[in-house]
Structure 1
Amino acid sequence: MSSRDVFIVSNSTDELGGVTGWMHRTAQLFQQRGHRVHTVGIHAAELKMALPDPPGYPVTALYPAHPPTPWAPRGLRDRFRITARRNEAARVAEKRRAVDRLSEVFRTARPGGVVIVSQVWAMEWVSEADTTGLRVIGMSHESYAYSRAGHRYRWIKRHYTGLDRWLVLTEEDADTWAGDGMNNVGFLPNALAALPDVPSPRCEKSVASIGRLSDQKGIDMLLDAWALVAPQRPDWHLDVYGAGEDEADLRARCTGLGLDGSVRWRGRTDDVPGALAASSVFVQSSRGEGFPLALMEAMASGVPCAAFDCAPGVREIVRDGEDGLLAPAGDIGALADRLLRLTGSPRLRDAMGARARVNVQRFSEAEIMSRWEELFAFLER
């Protein structure tokens, strides 16, 4: 196995979220295998996560804050707005400087270097940078259906068709993208972080949700589902871990549903294993996902999961009825039913939690890193 220069480029290197966590853990794993790693974010984040201390590899942000969006004049009169034209000229010049800086980072690579672009938006800068002599791998951490429903689909079609490899997280999504004309597509799941030494005792009457408080994570739907569960489980609590732009609205929704006595807002946490150890059930209510790390972490802790079947990655991780329970995407009543089943049966929780801890180990870091090495060797031929 030869040592390589590996650049991992994301929207941000310090934004609170699963992709940022994936970026830094993957960087550490590559470094442990002897590769020289450099992580790059397009911008520094406002809502930050704790980075490895020290990270042990360079961490670069091209902008100190989120760059402005491009200006598109609407009609003839709009074209003569001097201030807007000056601001757009300044944005273009700043982007050129950011791209030049990224090119300088890439030029430090030895032969055989690889650029991994973990998020679609970041590819806009990479596609304009000088990647001469480098293999470029694009990734998406969301499902085909979620990309197809939004603007990222157009970006993928524009920027990803000519890459050395385009990676999604499941074989099902890879087949779907191939059928949509992406002939360079492959799949590689996220890796499971270290297995906790001791699983959760599953003795606390707590259901945990861990994720950003944003529309994608569907906490509004979770609250609606919990409103059906709480009257039948008055001694249980829903513990919501996370922070985000929708927090105020979600707290107001919680109050309106009369749930303030059974929902605990825990805020963001850097101790996910501790949060899971204090829980007996994990719930994921997302509208869309890729290959959710929080779901795998819960299973590794022996915590049985109830989740919306919102993406191939979810049903790849959870074997419905064996090591967790899935509900049709967006079906609030069905999610409430799964939560009632898990909260109502210690025997079911113990059986599914034990199987989850064993089954999820098929996504071990050693296995996923071996597949990365095989991909690097294949692209070098």
Structure 2
Amino acid sequence: MTAYSERDVFFVSNSVDELGGVTSWSHQMARLFTERGHRVHVIGITEPAVVQELGELPYPTTTLYDAHPPRVGSARGIKGRLNVAERRLRAERAAGMREQAAKLTRLFRAARPGAVVIVTQVWAMEWVELADTTGLTVIGMSHESFAYSKATSRFGRVQKHYKDVDRMLALTREDADLWIRQGLDNASFMPNPIPFMPEVPSSRTENVVVSVGRLSDQKGIDMLLDTWAEVAPRHPDWTLRIFGSGEDEEMLKKQCTALGLDDSVEWMGRTSDVPGALRGGSVFVLSSRGEGFPLALMEAMATALPCAAFDCAPGVHEIVQDGEDGLLAALGNTGELARRLDTLMSDKDLRDRMGEAARVNIQRYTTDEIVRRWEDLFTFLER
């Protein structure tokens, strides 16, 4: 067994405690590294709009800004360049960024040799690259699939701000290869670890399909409701239980009523007990338009639930072995997802077989295995 040196590890994100998977991942990894003897510091650029409750943390956290940095428009075109108010705002933002980057420099300078900076989101990288990172290993991450990133402004920013980091990490080999083809020769991949491995799995005795995720466009709950409208009439004794909150909640509940699904859909709101939520179900469904390496899917499989999912990212078809521990449908094809759900809901033996296989197969992403891979990477990049 390799002995790893203890290091100073900085996680730099948009926020220390915003709601979402990146925050959950950051604090999971921060705890794991702390348990291994590394000295961890979690840094956020600004305060979030929606806060995630984190409880007591065994490592320090720092937020750079007291108030959100000013938002500026595009400087393109004569109009943008001549707009005095916009120019003043841009200058004020740039000065503020330099000031906050100086705080990062002071934190980085206090680190021991061999320190690592892990930038979890590309927006945060804009401050890290203004700081002095001499002698530190800098790793930039994209926690979404290449395809989903390509449809956003983050795509160009990843190419711009991650091109000179020591390693740019995607979540799958498939996505890393796509980034390399875009000219990011420093791209590689690192999967997420399982958030938890519950001692007691689901008994799969309840006629409940579970969804866990933010009520936002990305998570595709509107498509899930269209899917359920096809499935529910065939299974009047089954319930769809949706855990999560978000900006689309009101619109989705209206859609649910319009589809005549109020009797078979339960809106559970946010939960702080994900294992409990999953244990109460017999099937898990993922209806996202885009994902990276979805934690909720891994959590469901660890709880021994068979999954029906849109194949919306390489991370999904890497986690789910289609036909063995879950069933995949083409992204956006609600009819196909409905048929996958129907298959699992109609056949208890199949549910049990796939659920047990899911619990076994997902253990290739245990925390020990993923932490070992991270420490191997630290050692490799230090050479």
TM norm structure 1: 0.96
Distance 2:24 2:80 in 1: 42
- Residue 347 (str. 1) matches residue 349 (str. 2): yes
Distance 1:366 1:63 in 2: 35
What is the letter of the counterpart of residue 286 of structure 1? S
Q: 2:29 aligns with which of 22, 26, 31?
A: 26
Q: Deviations over 1:326-377 (max 9, x none)?
A: 0011111111111111111111111100000000000000001110110010
More moved, 149-158 vs 318-327: 149-158
More moved, 173-182 vs 303-312: 173-182
Shift in CA distance, 61/296, structure 1 to aligned 2, threshold 3 Å: same
User: 1:266-281 alignment to 2 at 5 Å?
Assistant: 266-281=268-283
Name the structure 2 match of 1:234. 236
User: 1:63-212 alignment to 2 at 5 Å?
Assistant: 63-72=65-74, 82-212=84-214
Say whether the 8 Å CA contact 1:302–1:356 is kept in structure 2: yes
Q: Secondary structure at the match of 2:70?
A: coil
Q: Secondary structure at the match of 1:60?
A: strand
What is the letter of the counterpart of residue 135 of structure 2? G
Q: Secondary structure at the match of 1:8?
A: strand
Distance 1:238 1:130 in 2: 51
Q: 1:299 aligns with which of 301, 304, 324?
A: 301
Shift in CA distance, 159/198, structure 1 to aligned 2, threshold 3 Å: same
Name the structure 2 match of 1:333. 335
Name the structure 2 match of 1:58. 60
Name the structure 1 match of 2:258. 256
Query: Any stretches of 5+ residues in structure 2 without a counterpart?
Result: none
Distance 2:268 2:87 in 1: 45
Name the structure 2 match of 1:286. 288
Residue 173 of structure 1: CA displacement?
A: 1.3
Say whether the 8 Å CA contact 2:16–2:44 is kept in structure 1: yes
Distance 2:346 2:328 in 1: 16
Distance 2:80 2:120 in 1: 36
Say whether the 8 Å CA contact 1:30–1:37 is kept in structure 2: yes
Residue 118 of structure 1: CA displacement?
A: 1.0
Shift in CA distance, 290/76, structure 1 to aligned 2, threshold 3 Å: closer
Distance 1:333 1:260 in 2: 20
- Residue 46 (str. 1) matches residue 49 (str. 2): yes
Query: Any stretches of 5+ residues in structure 1 without a counterpart?
Result: none
Residue 254 of structure 1: CA displacement?
A: 1.4
Residue 300 of structure 1: CA displacement?
A: 0.3
User: What is the CA RMSD across the aligned residues, in angstroms?
Assistant: 1.6
Residue 134 of structure 1: CA displacement?
A: 0.6
Say whether the 8 Å CA contact 2:143–2:292 is kept in structure 1: yes
Say whether the 8 Å CA contact 2:139–2:167 is kept in structure 1: yes
Q: Secondary structure at the match of 1:43?
A: coil
User: 1:7-26 alignment to 2 at 5 Å?
Assistant: 7-26=10-29
Q: Deviations over 1:133-160 (max 9, x none)?
A: 1110011111111112221111111111
More moved, 196-205 vs 315-324: 196-205
Residue 314 of structure 1: CA displacement?
A: 0.3
Distance 1:245 1:64 in 2: 25
Say whether the 8 Å CA contact 1:328–1:334 is kept in structure 2: yes
Residue 172 of structure 1: CA displacement?
A: 1.3
- Identical amino acids, percent of aligned pairs: 60
Residue 44 of structure 1: CA displacement?
A: 1.5
Between the two proteins, the alignment pairs up a number of residues equal to 380
Q: Secondary structure at the match of 2:198?
A: coil
Q: Secondary structure at the match of 2:214?
A: coil
Name the structure 1 match of 2:5. 2
Q: Secondary structure at the match of 1:349?
A: helix
Distance 1:46 1:264 in 2: 26
Q: Secondary structure at the match of 2:45?
A: strand
More moved, 31-40 vs 100-109: 100-109
Shift in CA distance, 83/148, structure 1 to aligned 2, threshold 3 Å: closer
Distance 1:217 1:356 in 2: 22
What is the letter of the counterpart of residue 41 of structure 1? G
